[in-house]
Amino acid sequence: MTDTENALIPPHENITAVLVLDDGSVFWGYGFGKETTTVGEVCFNTSMTGYQEILTDPSYAGQIINFTFPHIGNVGTNAEDEETKTSAVRGLVIRQDITEPSNFRSEQHLNDWCLKQNLTGIAGIDTRKLTRFIRKNGAPNGVICFNSQGKFDIPALQAQANEWPGLNGMDLAIKVTCNDTYDWTTTRWTLENGYGELNNPKAHVVAVDYGIKHNILRCLATTGAKVTVVSATTPAEEILKLNPDGIFLSNGPGDPAATGEYAIPIIQKLLESGIPLFGICLGHQMLALAVGAKTTKMHQGHRGANHPVMDFNTNKVEITSMNHGFMVDKETLPEGVKLSHISLFDQTCCGIELEGKPAFSVQHHPEASPGPQDSHYLFDRFMEMILENA
């Protein structure tokens, strides 16, 4: 038997899963969660906490997440930490077997939670090697195949990875946006009381849902905003009929240029209204596209909870959480658009402001609290802008 043929055979009888990349790289391991085959773009996340929030973040739609932190599962799972009701990720990759939970808030083992979410994972691979591969070559397409019998057709799995179209040109926001308009009044969680409820709203904010996270909605409500959430395709005229005091553009997955096909005309009309506007992540990219800037695919993306960002308004550095594979090209920002935040890792655009208009956006996730509260001021800044504009 040749070396090539040997590489297609599991190294021992206990193997139950494999990750195959589009270049033919093979990583053997052990399956957990749902027994199936799943394909997506393989990326890595360096966060040491928050794996459940990551796995339920709609911005990860179409992606397989490689966790660099080895102890995934150590705090279990619970209903309070989910950013959406169902997971949008394609799969997950971890170094060790799922760590047994040890946390007073744990309600369910991660494996059981993955089964409930129809989510497939692979454990036991060298996640550092995979991370180095992504850093060198960019985010590849990959397939996780979980087969308890240990039977795998590696050439077919590689072909499946190669045939998957990838995220370039893919509008995924349309797949994760809400179907119906709804109101949100739940505020942020505290150790003493859990989640709170907004009783005396200061303002009404309409949030355009490209894949919105629950904690963003909680942060908006905590500032005093009663939030009405509308789908990504809701016409500007219908949004304005809701009489908002502020408009929020949410995070979301996929290629911003593809989502912009229908989102840009809507945002441009909303900007004409003069109503204060705030965008996060994909919402940041949508705002930039709407004013004439361009976006581009990144080599490996930014995904983690330790990203330093400079706010040029205060000259302060905040430690932020990020999750994006596309970015706004700062060299294409038109006249009248100011660069407000920048990544101190690679000098990429992390925020913009429109001169003479009450509109701004950031690439990072101020609701994710890695600092832990370095970026919460952005929600307060939005509410101050709303009240000043009233």
Which single residue is written with the structure tokens 């905590």? 222
- Say how many C-beta atoms besides its own lie within 10 A of residue 74's C-beta: 18
Is 277 in contact with 249 (CB distance < 8 Å)? yes
Q: How far apart are CA 53 and CA 36, in angstroms?
A: 23
Where are the strands (E) in 89-146, listed by range?
Answer: 91-94, 120-123, 141-146
- The encoded tokens of residue 283 equal 């919402």
Burial of 152 (0-12, 13-18, 19+ CB in 10 A): buried
Report how far apart the first and last C-alpha atoms of the chain are (Å, whole number): 76
Name the active-site residue from 302, 341, 365, 376.
Answer: 365
Catalytic residue at 367?
yes
Name the active-site residue from 43, 341, 367, 376.
Answer: 367
Name the active-site residue from 114, 219, 281, 349.
Answer: 281
Q: In Å, what is the CA distance from 363 to each residue of 137, 284, 326?
A: 24, 6, 10
Give the angle subtended at the CA of 359 by the CAs of 169 and 272, to the nearest 5°. Answer: 85
Q: In Å, what is the CA distance from 1 to each residue of 12, 20, 25, 26, 153?
A: 16, 21, 19, 18, 17
Catalytic residue at 281?
yes
Q: Residue type for 29, please?
A: G
Can you state the angle between helices 282-290 and 256-272, rounded to 10 degrees? Answer: 60
Pairing of strands 63-67, 91-94: parallel
Catalytic residue at 145?
no
Burial of 147 (0-12, 13-18, 19+ CB in 10 A): middle
Query: Which residues are designated catalytic?
Result: 281, 365, 367
